[in-house]
Amino acid sequence: MVWGSENWVISGFAGRETRVAEGPFAGKTLNEVYGGEFPLLIKFIDAREDLSIQVHPDDELAAARGIGRGKTEMWYIMNDGGSLFVGLKEPLTPESYVRLVEENRLTDVLERHSVKKGDVFFLPAGRIHAICGGSVLCEIQETSDNTYRLYDYNRPGLDGKPRQLHTEEAKAAIDYKVYPSYKTDYNLEPGGSEVLVRDPHFTTSVYDLREPRIVSTEGCGRFLAVMCVEGSGRVNCVPLKCGEALLVLDEKGPVEFAPAEGTTAKFVTSHE
C-alpha cells in the first residue's frame, strides 16, 4: 500500500480468500471449508505513514446500495508510540463536512489519540477514523471492503495520481455526533482474560497467558479465531507466534492456550 502493509490472515473475501496451510484440508479456501462466506475478516496492519481518513457504511446502507455487507470493525494496538484518528471533537452536518473536505481541514475536527500496546478501539460503521503512521495493530471486521475515502492529504497514489475521494457517497454513511469516549477501557489482570467487544457482528476477548489455560468454545458458534498479538505460544499442539492467526472450526470441546515455555504471551480471540 502507499502507506505501509497489511496482511489478511483470515479472509473469506471473494478474490482474497485464505487457503488452509496444512492438514486434511490443505490447499482449500476458507469458504470451501466453512461452507459459505466466512463472516469475519482479520488483518495485521503496519502503518509506516498515515492512512486516508475513512468511514464505512453500515449493513443497511450497504444493502440498499447493493454492495454487500457494511463494515463494523475494531483495532487491538500491538506497539507503543503510534496514533489514530477516531471520532469527532465537534458535531458536523453533511454541509459542514463537505466544506471541511474542500478546505483541507477535516482533520481539525477529528479526535487524535496517542496509543500504546494493548489499547483497543471499537469502530461501529459510520465512525470517521484513520490509522496514523507508526501504528501496528490487529483489525477484526465484517467481511467487507466497503470503504469511503474522505481525505487523503492531497498525496499521490502508487500510480502517481491522486486517489479517489468518496465525498458524496459518504454523506449518508457518516455518524455526525460526538461521543464522550472512543477508546475501549478494560482491566486485564496478569494471567486473566477480558471481553473487549460484544457486538452483533463479533465478540472479541483478550487472554494474558502466563501458563497453559483451558478455554471453552461453548457459545462461540462455529468458529473461534485466535490471533497472537504479543509473544508466542500454542493452541492445543499448533504453534502460534506474534502476527499469526489460526482458526478453530467446528470444535465442540475446550481448547488449550499456552505461552511458549518460560515466557508470556497475549492471544486475542473473536467469534460471532
Q: What percent of the chain has pLDDT over 90?
A: 93
pLDDT at 1 over 90: no
**252: helix, strand or coil:** coil
Residue 227 parent element (H or E): strand 223-230
Cα(238)–Cα(230) distance, integer angstroms = 16
As a whole number, mean pLDDT of residues 150-179 equals 92
- Confidence band (pLDDT; 50, 70, 90) for 23? confident
- Alpha helices for the chain (secondary structure H): 30-34, 59-64, 94-102, 167-170
Write the CATH number of the domain with boundaries 4-184: 2.60.120.10
Cell, residue 198? 460484544
Residues 147 and 56: their CA atoms lie apart, in Å, by 5
Per-residue pLDDT tens over the stretch 93-149: 999 999 999 999 999 999 999 999 999 999 999 999 999 999 999 999 999 999 999
Catalytic residue among 149, 210, 213, 222: 149
pLDDT (average), residues 159-163: 84
Q: Say whether pLDDT at 158 is over 80.
A: no
Residue 154 has pLDDT above 90, yes or no: no
Q: What CATH number is given for 193-271 in this structure? A: 2.60.120.10
Q: Is 149 among the catalytic positions?
A: yes
From-to residues of CATH 2.60.120.10 in the chain: 4-184, 193-271
Q: 127 and 86 in contact (C-beta within 8 Å)?
A: yes
User: What's the average model confidence in pLDDT over 174-195?
Assistant: 98
Name the pLDDT band for 155 (thresholds 50, 70, 90).
Answer: confident
Mean of per-residue pLDDT scores for the chain: 96
Q: pLDDT tens-digit profile of 59-79? A: 999 999 999 999 999 999 999
CA distance 79 to 231: 12
pLDDT at residue 2, rounded to an integer: 78
What is the rounded average pLDDT of the residues 210-219?
Answer: 97
Confidence (pLDDT) at 228: 98
